[in-house]
Chain A
Amino acid sequence: MIERELRRDRTLPTFITLLVLAFLLMTFDVRSAGGGMGLSLRVTAQELTAPLQKLAAAVIDPAVDLIEGVAGVAALRAENETLRNEVARLQGQLAGSADDLERLRVLEDLYDLRLAGLEGARTEANVIGRPDPFDPSLIIDKGSQDGIVAGQPVVDSQGYLAGQVVTVSSGYATVVPVTQSREAVTVLARGQVGTLQSVIGSDEMNLEIFDAHEPLLPGDLVLTSSVSVSFPAGIPVGEVIAPAEMEGTALTARVKAFSDPERLRVVVVLAWPTDPSLVGEEEPATATTLPAATPDSSTTLTTAP
């Protein structure tokens, strides 16, 4: 009787079969670099689960907001007072900056500044899910039917570089934040072109410049470079957080990204490049981005070559 039960127990063969199947899947997925059949399966799974996530997010997000709001009333009062003082101080500064603005307008005319090519379509999307608390990828509620394609850059509501679209289904897409991406971003800091690479398990990034001509200091702005084939030029990425001295002509700096993937609720997907021939244009002599409250008002000023 016991022998018959043991003979009927197919757990071990099932277990071994599934292990082999999982190993095969992993091998194929790694060999195909996330493409091929795996990509099709991922798109299908996203199509099936994203509506549920959107529905759940529509219920859960307001509830969590409410709880966070109630819990944070005391902190909000103190913050409100601080902000009032800050507003008063900034109003004073604003009054003094009118003259600077006029001077800027004259200088723009003088040096024939032009707006860089960020005029393409922008698609605002809500972040509706994050499948794994330790995995940085985010699911947004816009997809190919909204004009989104894999590889498009994503900025946050402040206009800071947030990441890149990696997979797209008809109504949804997955975004990998720039701080966790395996691909380096070509950037510009103090007029020097370098590569910005995420650091495993950290929200800081490493900036490497191989043809440096001056050191970097904390607070130095890091922008996407026009040399980049993945991102339009002039998007603020982050700032240098520690002094970086030159070693020969090379330089390595630590950079803190402006965009925090943990707090992303709304993102903007940029339809870029609008004209593929624009990619790889000559690096402008200078590039300055004026960070703004909304991406729509984020303006990149570049000196005409």
Chain B
Amino acid sequence: MRSIRPLLVTLGLSLVALVLQATLFRRIRFVAPDLVMLVVILGALWLRPELAVIVGFVAGLLVDLIVAGGVLGLRALAYTVVAYVASRTKNRTDIGPWAVGVWAALLSILGVVVFLVLGSLFGEAAELGENAVRRLIQVPLINGILATLLSGWVGRLIAGRRVAA
């Protein structure tokens, strides 16, 4: 039986990301990453693909449960899609940390688009308008930068050994 440690560590990181998102980035208003999505993306680098999509679903569901005005299952779906595509394309990141950053930014765009499209279909109307544009620009940009900086560290935590960034 394979170790479930990476799965538990990634879920734990998702929880930490959610808490940081709700506290630190509530105060730093000009920086708006989606930390939980970032953990899902980086987790896909080190987890088996089926575990990565499960982590995407659970982490998204956790955020859905905390966001009062949101539709339950919306982020779960968006993060699951992101995790699936991430696990299928992770070999593109082999060339270095900058590739991880670009890859994470592109996946964040995918996640935001899925979120906005389904959100508007299911009535999360507050996500449209100016917020949608801000989300489409800021989240991929900040997530890409953070992915470049943190991928090695997150990899060490999840894989439990020193890994190439």
Contacts and interface: CB of A to CB of B under 8 A. Distances in A.
Contacts of A201: 126, 128-132
A133 B32 contact: yes
B103 interface: no
Interface in A170-190: 174-176, 180, 182
Contacts of A176: 68-69
B69 A136 contact: yes
B21 A133 contact: yes
B91 interface: no
B50 A134 contact: no
A26 B25 contact: no
A11 interface: yes
A6 to B, nearest CB: 12
Given A25-B73, A201-B130, A56 B23 contact: yes
Contacts of B18: 49, 131
15 contacts: A11-B53, A15-B80, A25-B72, A26-B77, A29-B73, A44-B65, A49-B15, A56-B24, A131-B63, A133-B25, A133-B26, A133-B32, A134-B134, A137-B67, A202-B129
Query: Which of under 10, 10 to 19, 20 to 34, or 35 or more describes the interface residues of A?
Result: 35 or more
A131 B73 contact: no
A46 B66 contact: yes
Contact of B126 (A14, A133, A136, A262): A136
Contacts of B20: 56
Contacts of B25: 133
Interface of B: 15, 18-29, 32-34, 49-50, 53-54, 56-57, 60-63, 65-74, 76-77, 80-81, 84, 87-88, 118, 122-123, 125-132, 134-135
Nearest to B23: A56
Contacts of A30: 71, 122-123
Contacts of A29: 71-73
Contacts of A64: 24, 27-28
A56 B84 CA distance: 31
Q: Which 9 A-B pairs rank lowest in CB-CB distance, beginning with the nearest? A: A201-B129, A25-B73, A129-B22, A45-B65, A22-B77, A29-B72, A174-B68, A137-B68, A133-B32
Contacts of B29: 133, 262
Contacts of A167: 68
A61 B27 CA distance: 8
A234 to B, nearest CB: 27
The listed residue with most B CB atoms (<10 A of its CB), out of A21, A60, A134, is: A134
A134 B127 contact: yes
Nearest to A61: B27
